[in-house]
């Protein structure tokens, strides 16, 4: 196998242009399940086959067409004054009978307070920008009326080029996102512009927080003001209850803007300058307060191209084109498209939602246990700044996380599960009881320190690492009878099917606790501080994972893990105990037997997209690279990558970005290796002559 890691400087570099462009997305029909997007990491604009959001109502049953940002949130009125501080917390006992308050929502017993707190704030759609299309007789156009569709996502330049025909006349649309502003630019060319059968339509829906609901005529709560400082410029000021934002727009001379409804505007050629010959250009930019749109499509397109050239030419790359295994192209396609998708909507100052900025899931809120699967890969792929952008969020919410821990009688900081920029936990029967997101900040900090070693990085993340470890150590309860520290009850495991009030010592969480506490202790030593005694006491006496019939039990309290089919569903999280974490103290033979059983018996339709890269890393650590590749490409409903690179999860969750981020981490892990990996090239790929793995710019994983 050929390879190009840091030691292979004499070898020719990977042809990155060829690598990327062979996976440009080409669509030739109107497909609501495969919309394309442009974005800059904190802003994303998703379009249908016309290159714009022309038919959003026809896409709601597929992937909704969103215009979403990192900063764009809406809060519904709260006349009852609901807040988490006054929520009726429910008390649950820990291992020693101490009663701990949680923001529980009993199954099927939600209340107005819990519903409002879960739904607020919600991420809002900033606007729907589509084509205004008419037949010659003035009738409106439906998706089935457009023919000859040919749409290309040009990954190298970050541009979507769309062509279709309406009544025999061609329409060409180019769409790009502004890398420097939260906005986009569009160029439309067609003779239909001059005949007033084609224009641009701008609509502002009222935010609902739901992924597949659009409300255009909300009776109250929204106002759209439009001012025009000159003939080819407009400023929309949106007031939504107590929230507001602005949209600044510019367009090429020769077109005029008209308001056709309270929240709807149409831009049509006026024929005063003959602009139709050169097409219609439109540029829009969004901001919570004030913004200035770029001055031309050409400038935005050039800036976007420069941005994407730098993205693709820097950082990591994996080229599988020399492989004879027929699956190489599909795996490489998934890797390339996942880089694009995570870069356009999972690289902002806050962790991303599970559907990123394409559409809303869980009201657009983000889940911190998924933050790892969204963004940890940036570190291994030479794009650490994209991960670090969101790590400041933990500093911002540290006081709130510390208050949560104190309210429950713990030390340190307890991080929320489902939250928004304010860091407030969302009431739930599951979220407040999860614990596997707690060690994540230590993992992120260690990734940063591996790539930027030294006291500056240690000091930068010291408060987060130590507060996290303080909570983890205090959360572990002393079991006097067993002379050990235990996890739970009450807790919810990563495999979210076990009764939270009767679950003890899940295998994965025990392994992650052990790794993270040891890493925090190592940080203290590197900073010249003495080991923290209680952390060490927990490390020395933490319960060992339970074993039955030569396999790791999912939890200590489910001895029927492998015999009762009720448990072989959801995440096979037992395998994560030796996956992205090294699994110190885990027995490889026992883990291999556990993997064998899962492989043969798991209920695959109940899994989630990140389970497959997780299993791949387990297989790689166990010295089974063939199965590692098989895991990445396992043919199951939850591991299908659409033409646009997205992974379908279920109705209401049409895309699932943790799968893309997890794939990228696993691919780098398998190519560049991990601490203690076999000393051969691409140790996570089979050394069978069928895989030719060339890579560069990747880092070794922990």
Residues 6+ apart with CB under 8 A from 410: 471, 474, 475
Query: How much is the pLDDT for 215?
Result: 75
Q: Is 0.85 surpassed by the pTM of this model?
A: yes
Model pLDDT for residues 441-476, shown as the tens digit of each residue: 999 999 999 999 999 999 999 999 999 999 999 999
Average of pLDDT values for 102-112?
92
Look at residue 11 and tell me whether its pLDDT is greater than 70: no
d(CA 384, CA 403): 30
Name the residue ranges covered by the structural domains of the chain.
Answer: 31-72+126-311
| Contact residues for 612 (Cβ-Cβ < 8 A; gap 6+) | 631, 632, 634, 636, 638, 639, 659, 662, 663
* The pLDDT value given to residue 213: 60
Q: At the topology level of CATH, where does 31-72+126-311 sit?
A: Beta-galactosidase; Chain A, domain 5 (2.70.98)
Task: Say what the pLDDT of residue 399 is.
Answer: 98
Flag whether pLDDT at 9 surpasses 80. no
pLDDT tens digits, one per residue of 38-79 = 999 999 999 999 999 999 999 988 999 999 999 999 999 999
Which element (helix H / strand E) includes 343?
helix 328-345
Tens digits of residue pLDDT in 562-583 = 999 999 999 999 999 999 999 9
- What are the two backbone dihedrals, phi and then psi, of residue 662, each rounded to the nearest 5 degrees? -65, -40
pLDDT band (50, 70, 90) for residue 665: very high
pLDDT in tens, 139-156: 999 999 999 999 999 999
Provide mean pLDDT across the span 327-335.
98
Q: How far apart are the first and last CA of the chain?
A: 24
Instruction: Give the model's pLDDT for residue 219.
Output: 67
Give the tens place of pLDDT for each residue, 219-250. Answer: 678 899 999 999 999 999 999 999 999 999 99
Three-state SS string across 398-419, please?
HHHHHHHHHHCCCCCCCCCCEE
Is residue 198 over pLDDT 90? yes
- Over range 355-378, report the average pLDDT: 97
Q: How far is CA 218 from CA 125, 226, 240, in A?
A: 14, 18, 10
pLDDT at 291: 79
Confidence band, pLDDT 50/70/90 cuts, at residue 294: confident
Q: Sorting pLDDT into bands at 50, 70 and 90, what band is 410?
A: very high
How much of the chain, in percent, has pLDDT values that exceed 90?
Answer: 92
pLDDT confidence of residue 589? 98
């Amino acid at each position: 196998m050929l390879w190009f890691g840091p030691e292979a400087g004499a070898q020719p570099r990977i042809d990155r242009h060829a690598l990327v462009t062979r996976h440009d997305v080409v669509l030739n029909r109107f497909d609501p399940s495969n919309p394309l997007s442009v974005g800059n990491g904190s802003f994303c604009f998703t379009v249908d086959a016309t290159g714009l959001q022309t038919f959003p109502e026809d896409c709601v049953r597929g992937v909704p067409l969103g215009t979403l940002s990192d900063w764009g949130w809406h809060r519904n009125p709260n006349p009852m004054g609901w807040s988490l501080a006054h929520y009726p917390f429910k008390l649950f006992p820990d291992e020693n009978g101490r009663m701990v308050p949680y923001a529980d929502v009993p199954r099927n017993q939600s209340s107005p307070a819990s519903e409002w707190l879960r739904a607020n704030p919600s991420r809002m759609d900033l606007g729907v920008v589509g084509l205004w299309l008419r037949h010659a007789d003035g009738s409106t156009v439906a998706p089935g009326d457009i023919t000859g569709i040919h749409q290309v996502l040009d990954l190298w330049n970050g541009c979507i080029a769309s062509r279709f025909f309406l009544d025999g006349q061609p329409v060409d649309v180019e769409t790009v996102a502004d890398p420097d502003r939260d906005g986009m630019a569009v160029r439309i060319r067609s003779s239909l512009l001059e005949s007033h059968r084609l224009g641009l339509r701008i609509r502002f829906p009222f935010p609902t927080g739901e992924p597949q609901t659009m409300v255009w005529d909300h009776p109250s709560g929204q106002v759209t003001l439009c001012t025009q400082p000159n003939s080819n410029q407009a400023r929309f000021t949106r007031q939504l209850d107590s929230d507001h934002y602005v949209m600044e727009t510019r367009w090429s001379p020769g077109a005029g803007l008209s308001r056709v409804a309270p929240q709807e505007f149409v831009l049509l050629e006026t024929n005063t300058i003959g602009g139709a010959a050169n097409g219609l250009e439109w540029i829009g930019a969004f901001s919570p307060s004030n913004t200035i749109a770029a001055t031309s499509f050409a400038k935005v397109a050039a800036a976007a191209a420069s941005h994407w050239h730098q993205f693709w030419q820097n950082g990591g790359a994996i080229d599988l084109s020399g492989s004879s295994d027929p699956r190489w192209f599909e795996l490489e396609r998934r890797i390339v498209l996942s880089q694009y998708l995570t870069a356009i909507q999972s690289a902002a100052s806050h962790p991303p939602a599970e559907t990123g900025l394409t559409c809303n899931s869980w009201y657009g809120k983000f889940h911190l246990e998924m933050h790892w699967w969204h963004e940890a890969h940036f570190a291994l792929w030479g794009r650490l700044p994209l991960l670090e952008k969101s790590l400041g969020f933990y500093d911002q919410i540290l006081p709130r996380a510390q208050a949560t821990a104190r309210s429950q009688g713990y030390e340190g900081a307890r991080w929320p599960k489902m939250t928004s920029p304010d860091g407030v936990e969302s009431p739930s029967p599951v979220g407040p009881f999860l614990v596997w997101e707690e060690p994540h900040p230590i993992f992120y900090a260690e990734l940063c320190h591996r790539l930027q070693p030294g006291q500056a990085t240690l000091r930068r993340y010291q408060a987060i690492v130590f507060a996290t470890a303080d909570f983890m150590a205090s959360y572990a309860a002393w079991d006097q009878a067993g002379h050990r520290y235990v996890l739970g009850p009450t807790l919810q495991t990563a495999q979210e099917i076990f009764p939270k009030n009767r679950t003890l010592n899940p295998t994965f969480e025990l392994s992650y606790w052990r790794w993270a506490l040891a890493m925090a202790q190592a940080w203290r030593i590197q900073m010249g501080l003495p080991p923290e005694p209680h952390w060490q006491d927990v490390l020395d006496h933490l319960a060992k994972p339970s074993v039955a019939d030569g396999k790791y039990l999912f939890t200590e309290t489910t001895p029927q893990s492998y015999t009762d089919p009720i448990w072989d569903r959801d995440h096979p999280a037992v395998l994560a105990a030796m996956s992205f974490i090294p699994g110190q103290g885990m027995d490889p033979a026992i883990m291999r037997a556990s993997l064998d059983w899962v492989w043969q018996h798991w209920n695959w339709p109940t899994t989630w997209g990140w389970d497959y890269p997780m299993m791949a890393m387990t297989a790689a650590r166990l010295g089974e690279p063939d199965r590692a590749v098989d895991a990445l490409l396992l043919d199951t409903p939850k591991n299908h990558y659409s033409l646009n690179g997205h992974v379908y999860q279920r109705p209401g969750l049409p895309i699932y970005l943790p799968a893309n981020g997890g794939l990228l981490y696993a691919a780098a892990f398998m190519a560049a290796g991990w601490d203690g990996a076999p000393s051969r090239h691409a140790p996570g790929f089979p050394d069978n002559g069928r895989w030719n793995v060339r890579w560069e710019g990747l880092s070794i994983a922990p």
